[in-house]
Chains A and B, each alone.
Chain A
Amino acid sequence: MTSSVASARAARVFSALPPFAGLDAATLEAIAQAATPRHFDAGRVIYLEGEPATTLYVLETGWVRATRMSPDGREQALSVLRAPDIFGDIAVFIGSPYPGTVVALEDVEAWAIDGGTFLGLVARHPTLARAVIRHLAGRVLYFIGLVEDLSLRSVEARLASTLLKNAERREGRLIVPRRPWTTFDQMAARLGTVRDVLSRALHALEEEHLLKVERHQIVLLDPEGLARRGNPE
């Protein structure tokens, strides 16, 4: 049971998740009452692939990365999530072990909700059940896109579309900031490749003046050209 201040904070975080934004106050309060605040230092494992899924998490601040070991022993990034978001939910809903490992990429504040308790809330609150369906449908669409990316697109195309999805406009330029935890290996795992291939792909796009790699950021010089590379005919 959380205090009323913490409960209000948890409700705010949960209602900031787009699929759950329209929930009524009573449902949000019930969820918040079931949530426990958790802190994870940067680099910490939140849960492991194949561990029993007992808990789902709502991310309040920070970034986490979900990965899964491929059959050939290579880590594949499933998703990189930034607050606010929810994770650990799919395994809780299906009653299977966690399908991937989640680690905190930086210091993370999250709310942990016992899986059984959350399933009970879903059973008692139809609006929450509908929000969960919306949320899971979004996840399905995301993973369809990931499968399409990994199976049908070249590394250069994947890189171009990923950069465009993560771009921010700063001082009139379109840039993708390099976070402290962004390493070549992690970028490669996110794109389903290895660092040498990623390095060649970045170099190729730079040679074509589509982007410029700087120390702390990647500047997107020609977004339209990158979009064409990301979605080839």
Chain B
Amino acid sequence: MGRPVVSPMTIPDETLRALVLEALASNRDAAALDLRVGVLNAVVHLGGEAPSAGLRDRAETIAAAIAGVRGVVNRIEAPGAPSPSRTIHIPLAEQEREEP
């Protein structure tokens, strides 16, 4: 028997948010930024400011790598980055359905 598969649907948003905050805090570059994080329906919403587009993208990559995250809406302000108030359409990973 292999390891049980944990459906991402079983990870509450509150837990995902804590995992994202922890991952950002443990990254040397991202930890220095004052970022805001919200998670709803397994979609991560990032806000705050970054000194460069590279760091902005880095934060998004870190959040997206958390198991169970379906997508990241990046509204972090950075030089040359798109406006945080723009209308956003992003591809979301399929949400796994729990067995009835």
Contacts and interface: CB of A to CB of B under 8 A. Distances in A.
Contacts of B89: 73-75
A103 B41 contact: no
Interface centre among A47, A50, A68, A105 (most CB of B within 10 A): A50
B83 A43 contact: yes
A71 interface: yes
A59 B33 CA distance: 28
B69 to A, nearest CB: 12
Contact of B36 (A45, A65, A68, A69): A45
B80 to A, nearest CB: 14
A69 B13 CA distance: 14
Given A69-B73, A73-B91, A73-B92, A105 B43 contact: no
Interface residues of A, number: 31
B47 A48 contact: yes
Contact of A48 (B45, B77, B91, B95): B45
Contacts of B41: 69, 71
A101 B87 contact: no
A50 B45 contact: yes
B8 interface: no
Contacts of A186: 87
A101 B86 contact: no
A45 B38 CA distance: 12
Nearest to B39: A50
Contact of A51 (B45, B91, B92): B45
A100 to B, nearest CB: 9
B84 to A, nearest CB: 5
B94 to A, nearest CB: 10
A88 B37 CA distance: 16
A98 interface: yes
B10 interface: no
B85 A49 contact: no
A97 interface: yes
A97 B41 CA distance: 11
B68 interface: no
Contacts of A44: 77, 84-85
B38 A48 contact: yes
Interface in B42-65: 43-47
Interface of A: 42-45, 47-51, 65, 67-69, 71-75, 97-99, 101, 103-105, 181, 183, 185-186, 188-189
Given A45-B75, A45-B85, A71-B95, 20 more contacts: A43-B84, A43-B85, A44-B84, A45-B36, A48-B36, A49-B38, A49-B43, A49-B73, A50-B13, A50-B44, A51-B36, A71-B41, A73-B90, A75-B88, A97-B38, A99-B40, A101-B73, A103-B85, A105-B85, A181-B85
